[in-house]
Amino acid sequence: MQRSMKLGHCVCDPRRPCPCDVFTNQGICPCAGERPDPIDLSQVRLTQMVHNAGCASKIAPADLEAVLARLPKVDDPAVLSGVAAGDDAGIYQLSEDVTLVQTVDVFTPCVDDPYTFGRICAANCLSDIYAMGAVPRTALSILGFPSETHDGRIMYHMLKGAMDVMAEAKVALIGGHSIKDEEIKLGFAITGTIERGRAVEHGTARPGDVLVLTKPLGVGVLNFARQVGKNGADFAAAEQSMATLNAAAAEAMAEVGVSACTDVTGFGLFGHLVSMVRHSGMTARVYADSLPAFGGAVELLREGVVPGAVERNREYVGEDLAVAEGVDAALADLGFDAQTSGGLLICVPRERHGRLMAALAQRGVRGRTVGEIVEPSTGRIELCNAGEARPATETREASEAAPGRSAGAEAPAAPADGDVECECMRRIPPSLQSPPVQAELRVADAGASPCCGPSAAAEPCCPQQGAAATPVAAAAPGESTAALSSQAFGQMMRVTGKGGAIDERGKFLINFALAVMSRCAPCVAAFVEKARTQNVPREQLDEAAWCAIAMGGAPVRMFYQDAMENIGRGRGCCT
């Protein structure tokens, strides 16, 4: 310190005078190895220590793209997907049998608790590997930390949280690098593997694909609101979601086979989607009122609590987004909101959409249909409300040719091969009758309609479920096996719903809890309607639902809350 005082500047940081603010305010000299006394970590507020929280700290996509476009191309035949592809991760052919998938991600804290931040950071960094359909293997850490002025235990808990998630993903943390930094930053370089030709790229969307999103939006605005002292939003569900791996969604995607995928992070839904459609040469249609959001996020946007990342992402998308009349401006902002550890955005062929939704649900992932790929273009997004857009597969000639329909009238999309349309489809609001949403309420392949299956335990809501409980015969000519499977499923539900060692009321509540656990919104709506006719009080439904929440955690709680709110607004199936 004597040398620093003589120079008038700190020898460790020439920008700081000597004595520095740290010495003046805390009475310690960092250059001499002195460190602050331990603090109560429960009082730490990491988000107050950074300018931009989470993935909102990333460089604006337009600025980044302008720089990357000027860099020389990498001429290496082993690079199967590199910078030019703009994909979630790079792919390198190491040998005939080994293909590496590699990515790196670093960002600032998005939550206040160090351990939770570490978990979220690890899940976010692994997400790029999952989006490519690959298996993550190893990780290297990258850490920036103001070690001279902050309690070192914060570092420990951040890394401990990250290592716990890495262990969950069966990924080995094998090393890393750290630097002194004024802001806290944490990230990981991840290496994964995949068979050659099996990677799911983001620039291969095709007309007719359905867009499925696996996590809600709104993390960025919730983070920003907390930084500026705006309260009222429940952040627990968002934290739980951010710390959840996209591994299950990736497994479902690989099982079904999809056209394209990307994960939604710092560039927001529209930023990542526009990159997808630009590289694919397609136009995407997104249904604004189908976008899932964390509680309080849309309300904050309507109040004008709009983070700067929204504007940066809007600039990147530019004129490639067309917003239809009647779209809530807050929902448009939601599409630009920077996400940290967001979900996968999957393009799935329409005929496989039902199977993908079932595969996601089986793994506890709440997939939401948010749009479709409609036609070739230079890469555009159309934002409208569900039910207000003409189905992409329908032509005016087909409408005019339809018997009994006036010229120009819209015809409902025909069920995909092997699908059976449920009677409940005629009871839901027009805003939910877009083709992708219809697909969620149909029987896909050998499955049963979600709004008819469990409800048959009480009283069938659809004709195929109301048939007499007779043995199911072989399929007659022209009759789909899916229809017979639906009948068989309905018969099974009626049998299991009858009283026995457990009375019918108990069976009803058990089946209701299972519907909540599986996060089937139409099923829950059908049960609630039946509960009204059977005088089952709301208290009993809630108590059964909490049994499911105890097993499924915050995602199930979030689903149940949303489902009951939608039913209260008259948006449920069969109401």
Nearest-angstrom CA–CA distance, 103 and 124:
11
Nearest-angstrom CA–CA distance, 213 and 263:
9
Last residue of a domain, one of 355, 384, 413: 384
Strand order across the 185-193 sheet: 79-81, 90-93, 99-107, 185-193, 135-145, 172-180
**Same domain flag for 26 and 50:** no
CB 119 within 8 A of CB 61: no
**Same domain flag for 311 and 265:** yes
CB 416 within 8 A of CB 425: no
pTM of the model: 0.62
- Residue 513 corresponds to which tokens in the numbers above? 């809890």
- Residue 323 corresponds to which tokens in the numbers above? 């917003």
Q: In this structure, is residue 459 part of a structural domain?
A: yes
Our count of domains for the chain comes to 4
Nearest-angstrom CA–CA distance, 565 and 574:
15
Nearest-angstrom CA–CA distance, 56 and 337:
9
- Looking at residue 466, its amino acid is G
Nearest-angstrom CA–CA distance, 559 and 542:
13
Place of tokens 């089952």: 536
**Same domain flag for 147 and 260:** no
The alpha-helical segments, DSSP class H, found in 89-185 are 114-131, 152-168
List, by residue number, the catalytic residues. Answer: 55
Can you give the length of the chain in residues?
575
Q: In this structure, is residue 392 part of a structural domain?
A: no
**Same domain flag for 309 and 217:** yes
Sign of CA dihedral 277, 278, 281, 283: positive
Last residue of a domain, one of 356, 384, 412: 384
CB 169 within 8 A of CB 245: yes
DSSP E strand boundaries for 35-171: 79-81, 90-93, 99-107, 135-145
- Residue 296 corresponds to which tokens in the numbers above? 């309080």
- Residue 348 corresponds to which tokens in the numbers above? 């799935």
Q: In this structure, is residue 199 part of a structural domain?
A: no
C-alpha closest to that of 432 among 420, 422, 440, 443: 440
Question: What are residue 435's phi and psi, to 5 degrees?
Answer: -55, -45
Which residue segment(s) compose the domain that 242 sits in? 210-384
Identify the pLDDT of residue 22.
61
**Same domain flag for 71 and 16:** no
**Same domain flag for 239 and 289:** yes
Nearest-angstrom CA–CA distance, 483 and 365:
26
**Same domain flag for 164 and 224:** no
**Same domain flag for 135 and 223:** no
Nearest-angstrom CA–CA distance, 527 and 539:
14
Nearest-angstrom CA–CA distance, 166 and 429:
43
Last residue of a domain, one of 163, 193, 223: 193
| Rg for the chain, CA atoms, rounded | 26
**Same domain flag for 229 and 353:** yes
Nearest-angstrom CA–CA distance, 410 and 79:
47
- Residue 72 corresponds to which tokens in the numbers above? 């020389």
CATH of the domain at 462: 1.20.1290.10
CATH of the domain at 184: 3.30.1330.10
CA distances from 211 to 129, 142, 446 (A): 19, 33, 22
The partner residues of 375 in beta bridges, in order of sequence, read 283
Nearest-angstrom CA–CA distance, 284 and 94:
35
Residues 6+ apart with CB under 8 A from 354: 416, 419, 439, 440, 442, 443, 444, 445, 447
Q: In this structure, is residue 175 part of a structural domain?
A: yes
**Same domain flag for 83 and 19:** no
Nearest-angstrom CA–CA distance, 319 and 334:
17
C-alpha closest to that of 437 among 170, 219, 210, 232: 210
Q: In this structure, is residue 11 part of a structural domain?
A: yes
CATH of the domain at 321: 3.90.650.10
308 exposure class (CB count in 10 Å sphere: 0-12, 13-18, 19+): middle
**H or E segment and range at residue 240:** helix 236-242
Identify the pLDDT of residue 291.
95
How many helices (H) and strands (E) the chain has is answered by 21, 13
546 exposure class (CB count in 10 Å sphere: 0-12, 13-18, 19+): middle
**Same domain flag for 167 and 255:** no
Q: In this structure, is residue 390 part of a structural domain?
A: no
Q: In this structure, is residue 435 part of a structural domain?
A: no
Q: In this structure, is residue 136 part of a structural domain?
A: yes
The alpha-helical segments, DSSP class H, found in 408-503 are 435-440, 463-466, 481-497
Low-confidence residues of the chain, pLDDT below 70? Answer: 1-16, 18-45, 47-62, 82-88, 149-150, 231-234, 388-498, 569-575
CB 159 within 8 A of CB 193: no
**Same domain flag for 55 and 93:** yes
Q: Are strands 282-287 and 380-384 parallel, antiparallel or unpaired?
A: parallel
Nearest-angstrom CA–CA distance, 292 and 555:
13
Nearest-angstrom CA–CA distance, 516 and 520:
6
